Amino acid sequence: MTQTTWMDATAQAELVRTGQASPAELVDDAIERIERVNPQLHAVLRDRFDAAREEARGDLPAGPFRGVPLLLKDLGCHVAGDETHYGTSFLRDAGFRWPTDSYLARQFRAAGFVFLGRTNVPEFGTTITTEPVANPPARNPWNPGHSTGGSSGGAAAAVAAGLVPVGHASDGGGSIRIPASECGLVGLKPTRARVSHGPDVGESWAGATTDGAITRTVRDAAAVLDAISNPMPGDPYVAPPFARPLADEVGAPVGRLRVGLLDADPGERSLEHPQCRAAVERAGGLLEEIGCVVEPGTPEGMFDEMFSRFFTATIAADTALTLDTFERLVLGRAVADDELEPRNAMYRAVGRQMTAADYLGARAYLGAWVRRMSAFWAPQVLGGQGFDLFVTPTVATPPPELGWFGAAGPEEEGRRIGSFMPYTAQFNVTGQPAISLPLHWTEDGLPVGVQIVAAFGREDVLVRVAAALEQAAPWADRRPPVSA
């Protein structure tokens, strides 16, 4: 069989369609890679290899990714009969198995993917490094002493190391884009409500969270989102439909887009590494080469200090609700504070103290803030600034060493998290699509991602531009030191 290690999901699916490989061969190949390399990375927490082999030899749906192996994040995307632990010790110890597939799992299955197991996450996905107390830390294939990012850190490590071509991911404040940046991958965060949370959840984190994938190529990012972006009947709201499949945007003309390059300082509370600014400057030059008009520009409110306060309030309320739900419906008992990492015990305490008026007040402030931010992309005839895209570093520094975030205690951990991610969470709250692209590496071989943000509902523009940048500055041939 053709060597599949560094083939993307689109290429692997083509092998199956043309009879050059069977789904069983693709799955066996990926299992061998995981068994050989994962002990060095702790990217995959639990496998379902026996079930995957049986499914691959059975009657798979004739979807666009028939037979392609996929790893699911250990947070959300429930699969009937399988465990999902959310990075916690109490769900791990309970051994609870979910009774039904989530709507997202059904869509992945309909696309033809074969699930191989679950990837490492921080507890409840509430931080940006994958170092849960309940499990070993995920290690970065570019340097195993460094973080993979979070919360989709295990997925990113697995894809970067060549274990699988694509990994399920989710994003509530940067959790697709940050691991993609730190592991040298493509991370596309969809528009709000592009991917359904059904049937159990309408929205979470006040609509800030979404699911998607981490990939090695732009064409995979587009085609996977095509496969999972069917609204579920009864969703509270849906994203505007695409004019045509996103996969058709790969290679399409970019046009003369107006691009704003970050020109504002995130403030003294935030880190600002020169390599990250250099990555943005290089991206600006590449964008000009592909025909865009690039100029300085930053949305009003991008670094509003009150934004973080009110967004954190919605996370706290949601964490309290999530824990209450697990206590009532899964465990049948209370979860003690010492069963939680201090960060999440704090979130629950704050969430339980909030009144309904407190929560609605936070939502109201964020709603007004979103309208200020969104003026950056609005037409000038309507009083907006008329930009098509906004470009920032994905994070404020290259991947930090493992242990850096929590080394100085819970309070300092919170400050370090905030200082490291001044650019991503804003676009979870505005609901806009954003993509991280691996356009820069440091001299010592660590990847640095660049974030590009489009107007609400305009993943099509992101994919056209990202595909052109992939052609102008290819990254597919880069291989991390720890890989298959």
Question: Is residue 175 annotated as a catalytic residue, yes or no?
Answer: yes
For residue 144, the tally of other CB atoms under 10 A from its CB is 18
Q: Which residues of 149-165 are buried (b: 16+ CB within 10 A; e: fewer)?
A: bbbbbbbbbbbbbbbbb
Contact present, 390 and 300 (Cβ < 8 Å): no
Tens of pLDDT, residues 355-365: 999 999 999 99
Of 147, 151, 196, 436, catalytic: 151
Classify the C-alpha dihedral 431-435-436-440 as positive or negative. Answer: negative
pLDDT greater than 90 at residue 411: no
Taking residues 214-241, what's their average pLDDT? 98
- What is the percent of the chain where pLDDT is above 70? 100
pLDDT at 379: 95
Tens of pLDDT, residues 160-196: 999 999 999 999 999 999 999 999 999 999 999 999 9
Give the residue from 206, 240, 232, 244 showing the smallest Cα distance to 105. Answer: 232
Residue type, 108: F
How is residue 97 written in tokens?
């198995």
Tens of pLDDT, residues 342-384: 999 999 999 999 999 999 999 999 999 999 999 999 999 999 9
pLDDT greater than 80 at residue 55: yes
pLDDT greater than 90 at residue 268: no
pLDDT greater than 90 at residue 144: yes
Question: Is residue 189 annotated as a catalytic residue, yes or no?
Answer: no
Which positions ≥6 away from 26 have C-beta within 8 Å?
Answer: 4, 12, 15, 16, 56, 67, 68, 69, 114
pLDDT greater than 80 at residue 10: yes
Residue type, 6: W
pLDDT greater than 90 at residue 410: no
Crossing angle between the packed helical segments 23-41 and 9-17, to the nearest 10 degrees: 150
Residue type, 361: G
pLDDT greater than 90 at residue 2: no
Contact present, 141 and 160 (Cβ < 8 Å): yes
Of 147, 170, 175, 374, catalytic: 175
Residue type, 107: Q
90: phi then psi, degrees, rounded to nearest 5: -70, -35
Contact present, 320 and 348 (Cβ < 8 Å): yes
d(CA 469, CA 457): 21
Taking residues 155-160, what's their average pLDDT? 99
pLDDT at 1: 60
Of 73, 181, 374, 436, catalytic: 73
For residue 185, the tally of other CB atoms under 10 A from its CB is 31
**Residue 451 banded pLDDT, cuts 50, 70, 90:** very high
Q: Greater confidence, 3 or 222? A: 222
Domains annotated for the chain, with CATH where assigned, are 9-472 (3.90.1300.10)
pLDDT greater than 70 at residue 234: yes
Residue type, 425: A
pTM, rounded to two decimals? 0.98
Tokens 């198995």: give the residue.
Answer: 97
Taking residues 390-408, what's their average pLDDT? 96
**Residue 324 banded pLDDT, cuts 50, 70, 90:** very high
Query: Please, what is the average pLDDT of the chain?
Result: 97
Question: Is residue 102 annotated as a catalytic residue, yes or no?
Answer: no
